[in-house]
Structure 1
Amino acid sequence: MPDAIEDKIRLVLDGQILSDSDELCDFTLAQQNEAIEAKGIQPTASSTYIPICHKTVTYVVAAVLFNNNHEVLMMQEAKASCAGKWYLPAGRVEPNENLVDAVKREVLEETGLIMEPTSLIMVECASGSWFRFVMTGHVTGGTLKTPEQANSESLQACWVNNVEDLSLRSNDIIPLIQRGRDYLTGIAAPWHPCLLPMTKPRTKLYLRLIVCIKKKATNRLHVLISEKTALHLPICEINPNRNLHSTLHKFMVEIFGDNVAQHRPHGLFSVEFSGGEGGDGLCFTLLVSFRPPLEEVPIIGKYVWHELPQNLAESLTARLPRNMTIPLNVVR
């Protein structure tokens, strides 16, 4: 069975989908609610929560695209609440729509251009039920939308050198544009491989962890494995009414106790999204590393450390530096 775990980690490192079932969840909303009720605190989310697109969960896509002159593609808003303001091509994912199709649709509707997505460059979440998936890619066709083609989607689109010269709908897109520019120009290289969301039926919102640590006695890298059911990478349900950092912290406490040692969430290895196929859920695979050695990090739950073979350990270690995973930005 450890070989199967190693195969799963290889798949994750290669940006491939895992076949884990929903039944492997180690820390459900029901269990999270029981844990906080034991402390006399009222739960913030129903144990029976189901993500339903446009109703109980909001998914948004945004595109950061550049031309050969390093100008970014912008569109002018038509909505009454922000008419005339400028923003990245972006919008809500429709029911039964996957994320790649959604960003291509938004770019075409708002700018008149055809986009071929190549990679996620950031995922953002505000509470556990609002998610924005920021992608970059190439323009492969279409015609830039002019003011004469204005409609309810947008007034026009154009390539912009300095977005701060525009009247923006919100400044929240400035760091997205900067990250896209850095990624495409290779500043602060190396960067993560190209990674796009993968379609995988999910009925809930999940957070899967790859937790790594070094053993002081051998200097070998180990990863955490759950033994609660079949051996698998630890996975928990995301609380829709709390920020994702809160969900991660509660899960780490569940595994390591209240005095969990210093650790660092790095970023995402993969994004699995239902797109209406078997539900409106998702699963993030997040890389986490401990600073102290294995000998100083006790486990209180049904989990064990598994030593990785050297070649796999080197591949995983190579993904620990900055920019080698997709940032998961928690918006407060």
Structure 2
Amino acid sequence: MIYLRKSKVWLGVSGIVTNQRGEWLVLKKQYSGLKGKWSFPAGFVEAGEAIDDAIIREVKEETGIDCDVEGILGVRSGVIKNDISDNMIIFKLKATSEDISTHLPNDEIECAKWVDKQSLLNMECSPMIYEFVRYMPGFKPLQNTTSPGKVFNYTKYHLYY
């Protein structure tokens, strides 16, 4: 497969997946700057793939969880080594299954679990998780091209609420 990551413009997807109890699906990474930290399911968009299909695929591959997209929560954008445009679309998703069935640990993920979002504040997590825990109550997922309102700009995060 060809991944957009091989170019100088990267497009990734990530998402907050919630279950019927309102818990969030998190993964403990085994690589990169997030090694040993909890983060949301995420990955790169493949060539010829729509972003909403990409996040559903990534969640399924990483955890075995099936989910539906409810909207877009924001965009994270940055530049790596003054050379690579690194962009990520963050989705809001609702789980349609809850059993984590992917064989873990593997090369990328140590473990996955459902966690009450307030408990995440006491865990070693990615900075993005902390921001969403703090600001999520006021978020309105972007479901169309109409502006959702005020834009919160925190460093490299562009979060809509």
User: C-alpha deviations, 1:89-118, integer Å up to 9, x for none?
Assistant: 112222222211111111112222012112
2:66 paired residue number: 114
Q: Which structure is higher in RCO with an 8 Å CA cutoff and minimum separation 6?
A: 2
Given that 2:72 and 2:141 are in contact with CA atoms closer than 8 Å, whether structure 1 keeps it comes out as no
Given that 2:29 and 2:39 are in contact with CA atoms closer than 8 Å, whether structure 1 keeps it comes out as yes
Given that 1:72 and 1:177 are in contact with CA atoms closer than 8 Å, whether structure 2 keeps it comes out as no
User: So what's the TM-score if we normalise by structure 1?
Assistant: 0.39
1:65 alignment partner, SS class: strand
User: So what's the TM-score if we normalise by structure 2?
Assistant: 0.73
Change (3 A) 1:141 1:109: same
Does residue 322 of the first structure (1) align with residue 150 of the second (2)? yes
Given that 1:113 and 1:142 are in contact with CA atoms closer than 8 Å, whether structure 2 keeps it comes out as yes
- The Cα shift of 1:181 comes to 4.4
The Cα RMSD (Å) is 3.0
Taking only the aligned residue pairs, the percentage that are identical comes to: 23
Given that 1:125 and 1:330 are in contact with CA atoms closer than 8 Å, whether structure 2 keeps it comes out as no
- The Cα shift of 1:149 comes to 3.0
Amino acid at match of 1:62: S
Aligned residue pairs total 148
Alpha-carbon distance in 1 for matches of 2:141, 2:94 = 18
Q: 1:150 aligns with which of 84, 102, 105?
A: 105
Amino acid at match of 1:53: L
1:194 paired residue number: 143
Change (3 A) 1:64 1:72: same
Given that 2:4 and 2:44 are in contact with CA atoms closer than 8 Å, whether structure 1 keeps it comes out as no
Given that 1:116 and 1:139 are in contact with CA atoms closer than 8 Å, whether structure 2 keeps it comes out as yes
Does residue 53 of the first structure (1) align with residue 8 of the second (2)? no
Amino acid at match of 1:141: S
Change (3 A) 1:142 1:153: farther
- The Cα shift of 1:63 comes to 0.6
Query: Can you give the 5+ residue segments of structure 1 that lack an aligned partner in the other structure?
Result: 1-51, 184-190, 196-268, 271-286, 288-318
User: C-alpha deviations, 1:272-307, integer Å up to 9, x for none?
Assistant: xxxxxxxxxxxxxxx6xxxxxxxxxxxxxxxxxxxx
User: C-alpha deviations, 1:224-264, integer Å up to 9, x for none?
Assistant: xxxxxxxxxxxxxxxxxxxxxxxxxxxxxxxxxxxxxxxxx
> Rg bigger for which structure?
1
More strand by share: 2
2:43 paired residue number: 91
Query: Can you give the 5+ residue segments of structure 2 that lack an aligned partner in the other structure?
Result: none
Given that 2:73 and 2:142 are in contact with CA atoms closer than 8 Å, whether structure 1 keeps it comes out as no
Change (3 A) 1:155 1:193: closer
Which aligned pairs between 1:74-223 and structure 2 lie closer than 5 A?
74-79=26-31, 82-127=34-79, 129-141=85-97, 143-145=99-101, 149-161=104-116, 162-168=119-125, 170-183=126-139, 191=140, 194-195=143-144
1:155 alignment partner, SS class: strand
2:20 alignment partner, SS class: coil
Change (3 A) 1:58 1:104: same
Amino acid at match of 2:89: F
